[in-house]
Structure 1
Amino acid sequence: MKTRELKQKAKTLIVLVVLITFLTTFSGINLVGNTYKTGNEPNQLISLTSKWRELNILCVVITYPENLEKRTKFVNETWTRQCNKTIFVSDEHNGEFPTIKVTDQKGKSELWAKSRNAIELLYYKYLNKFDWFFKAEDDTYVVMDNLRKFLYFKDSSKLEWYGKAMINGSDNSIYPHGGAGYAFGSKALKQLVEVGFKNGPNCPKDSVSSPNYDVYLGSCLTNSGIELIKDCFDSHGRELFHPLSFQDEFALAWDKSNYFYKNSLNKVATEKCCSSESVSFHKVIGREQLFMDYFIREFKPPDKKSQR
């Protein structure tokens, strides 16, 4: 068997073990069959869950033409189906998928142009149609029920941006990690486009080439008067937005030299991965989306009470 195939099988096994351990160990809110189970009274639980699901959320996914078959189609088949609307933006129009062309510039070095233009698309076409927006990449996996529950307790009319806070090593500024995804309300979207995107050098034009688009976004947010919320934690201090895959997030506790560990604003929270109310994971590629979707939404661990 080829070395590559062995590595892939080993990776799959690790993910399987970690996921099963996670799902059968953590207490609190757990997704089982698309329903939150808590210690609350049944009627109260049904009422809250109904309210969470009433939130009107538009999801936008950044992708590339070459990724449609090997990545994006799996995103389209899994978590995005729980968004009220999903749009896929790229550098080419594809009516069959479909994707919306937002820039002529191609490649990862042009991510800022694609991201900025995607945000402007949301502003001009959807600003008054949705309360919340969530931006992801084609290797982001989102637990939509957890996102809805998280946003239910937030105010979309506030100038706030929610995601994984990172530190820019060159100037110690704070920015949201793009791969982990981020959520923002209609008020923040309006402010970013009308104030930030018109603020000259502090918020680069779409012609600027750089793969560090999330750093640019951090600068835009700061100069727009929008607050990047730095403590997106659960009640146990565990983070909700993750810049790495499920299994790699666990490894951060032992790898202090890792880029994401060193540049994460919240070092302590990083070591406490992962919350049972986690919203997103990054670097979930291709069929791994199906794998995550099954174990988070369909897999039913044994009831602890029945094992006693």
Structure 2
Amino acid sequence: MVRHFSTRRLFLGGKNKCAVLNSSLLLGVIFFLLFLLYQRDATTSTSTSDILATPPPRPRIVCVIVTFAYRHEYAAIHIQKTWARHCDHYLFVSDNVHVVLEPAVFQNIWDKWQRIRAHLKYTYMKHFHQGDWFLYANDDNYVFVENLRHMLQSYSPEELIYFGCKLRSSREGLVYMFDGSGIVLSAASLKRFVLEALTDENLCSSQNRGGEAAQELGRCLSNVNVVAGDSRDEWHRHRFLPFETSIHLGGQMNSSIELHRYFLERSYYPVTDMNLPVSLRSICFHLMSMPLAYNLFYFTQNVQIFGAPQEWDSENWGLENQNL
């Protein structure tokens, strides 16, 4: 007898047959699996589009650059033509006017601590709305603003934190930043410094501090719970460097030089073989001569090296070049 196909049985049962499976149930399972696949693809597509549509927020950086009348043409004008233009907003602070730099002018303030107080208060009052982070630098610093922005993406401007080249005083153990290589304050830190520290003599001195201006800034910030952050990279290499590249790349610090000795005695992190490991994502260092600013700007911003990889294997580079 000819066996006809029955929609009640899709497979054989028993020894030679399977249990009966209703065709409508099978179709339901298939449609459900298709639905799950569709949902997965839709979710993946949405997540991917969300990532593409909402990149990490780009920190707005206001650069406050300290200069003086006798250095306008010698130094500051060259900073204005190079790295300063990469800040979201920059302003020079000086003791006299200049037609190109257009600095905010603070005359007859001879003490360094009094200048810092005045500069940061002015920045808060006039430029706070323009930035998330505030770089306080000198006209003999060179700053890779893009690297600074990259570092700051890991932090919120609402955090009470500031960064720089970290020191610790030998007597009190006070943590502060070396003022020769740039100091970066979050918006929240600048606001608290101006509104709470500067207005309370018990928290922040209004007296002249001479050569201890950087220490006093660190003390004031600490007293209003602003944390001195770690600006080194993930391999503990330094991004804020105290001296010029000839010292940090192939050279050594010299303890017979007063400024070097000052740093060596107070460095928050260990110094090995009279030098610091330098990060591939360096942010700030001292310029020995101003023409170097143009060289650095050209070679880092304009030169394209054919055949060079787009991404360095920075972890392996770091392991092989510990002394750089």
TM-score, normalised to structure 1, is 0.75
Map 1:198-209 to 2 at 5 A.
198-200=199-201, 202-205=203-206, 208-209=208-209
Q: Which has the greater radius of gyration? A: 2
Deviations 1:206-243 (A, max 9, x none): x51513321111111111211111x2111211011111
Mapped contact 2:170–2:265 kept (Cα < 8 A): no
Mapped contact 1:146–1:278 kept (Cα < 8 A): yes
Q: Following TM superposition, by how much is the alpha carbon of 1:272 offset from its aligned partner in structure 2, in angstroms? A: 4.5
State yes or no: 1:277 paired with 2:247.
no
Match of 1:57 in 2: 61
Ranked by relative contact order (alpha carbons within 8 Å, sequence separation 6 or more), the top structure is: 1
Give the CA RMSD over aligned residues.
2.9
Assess, with a 3 A threshold, how the Cα gap between structure 1 residues 195 and 244 changes in structure 2: closer, same or farther.
same
Assess, with a 3 A threshold, how the Cα gap between structure 1 residues 116 and 251 changes in structure 2: closer, same or farther.
farther
Structure 1 unaligned blocks of 5 or more: 1-42
Mapped contact 2:248–2:276 kept (Cα < 8 A): no
Map 1:42-191 to 2 at 5 A.
51=56, 54-106=58-110, 110-191=111-192
Q: Report sequence identity in percent.
A: 23
Q: Following TM superposition, by how much is the alpha carbon of 1:162 offset from its aligned partner in structure 2, in angstroms? A: 1.0
Residue 94 of structure 1 aligns to which amino acid in structure 2?
H
SS in 1 for 2:249: helix
Q: Following TM superposition, by how much is the alpha carbon of 1:93 offset from its aligned partner in structure 2, in angstroms? A: 3.0
Name the stretch that deviates more: 91-100 or 115-124.
Answer: 91-100
Match of 2:216 in 1: 216
Assess, with a 3 A threshold, how the Cα gap between structure 1 residues 47 and 63 changes in structure 2: closer, same or farther.
farther
C-alpha distance in 2 between matches for 1:196 and 1:281 = 28
Q: How many residues align?
A: 257
Mapped contact 2:60–2:133 kept (Cα < 8 A): yes
Deviations 1:247-280 (A, max 9, x none): 2123565646642233211125884431110111
Structure 2 unaligned blocks of 5 or more: 1-47, 310-324
C-alpha distance in 2 between matches for 1:166 and 1:111 = 18
Assess, with a 3 A threshold, how the Cα gap between structure 1 residues 250 and 199 changes in structure 2: closer, same or farther.
farther
Mapped contact 1:72–1:286 kept (Cα < 8 A): no
State yes or no: 1:299 paired with 2:303.
yes
C-alpha distance in 1 between matches for 2:200 and 2:175 = 19
Q: Following TM superposition, by how much is the alpha carbon of 1:87 offset from its aligned partner in structure 2, in angstroms? A: 0.5
